[in-house]
Amino acid sequence: MFTTPSEYALFQIEMMRPDRSAEHSLSRETVKEMLTREFQADGRKPIKRCSPAVSDDVYFGLGWHIDATPLGDRIYHGGTNGSGFRCYNEFDPQRGSGVVIMTNGLSGDKLWEAVVERIAP
C-alpha cells in the first residue's frame, strides 16, 4: 500500500468512528470482526509502552495485531516495503486516539519503537 501519514490517520479515525453511515464506511459488523481477538500470536511479545501490558498475550484480529493493556486493547500494524521505508500505526478505540509513524530508513522500526514506548499508555 502506498499512502501518506495523513491519509493513514484518516483511515484510523474512520476505524474508531462509531457512526458507520457514511457511504465509504465499513459496516459496524465488519469493524467489529476486524478488531476482535481471533487467535493468539504465539511467541510474539507486546509492544513496549509507558505502562506495562496486562499480560504477554498478543492476538491477531483481521489485519491487525492486538495487545491487551491496563486501559484496553491497543490495535496496531507495522510494515516495510523492502526498500527501507518502515511504518507503524496504533490506535485505542476506547480513547479515540492513535499514532501513525512513517520513516524512510532501514532502522525506522527503532524510531517508532522508541516513540511508542514514550507516548502510548
User: Residue 10: what pLDDT?
Assistant: 94
Between CA 58 and CA 69, with CA 64 as vertex, the angle to 5 degrees is 40
Name the pTM for this structure: 0.85
User: Residue 68: what pLDDT?
Assistant: 81
User: Residue 53: what pLDDT?
Assistant: 58
Q: Residue 29: is its pLDDT beyond 80?
A: yes
How sure is the predictor about 43, in pLDDT bands with cuts at 50, 70 and 90?
A: confident
CB atoms inside a 10 Å sphere around CB 63:
9
Q: Of 33-37, 51-55, 58-62, 74-78, where does mean pLDDT reach its minimum?
A: 51-55
Mean pLDDT across 17-21:
91
- Which domain range does residue 21 map to? 5-119
Mean pLDDT across 41-63:
81
Mean pLDDT across 43-67:
82
Domains held by the chain: number: 1
Strand order in the sheet with 86-92: 39-40, 58-60, 65-69, 72-80, 86-92, 97-103
Distance CA 35, CA 38 (A): 9
User: Residue 46: what pLDDT?
Assistant: 82
The x, y and z cell numbers of residue 7, run together, are: 491519509
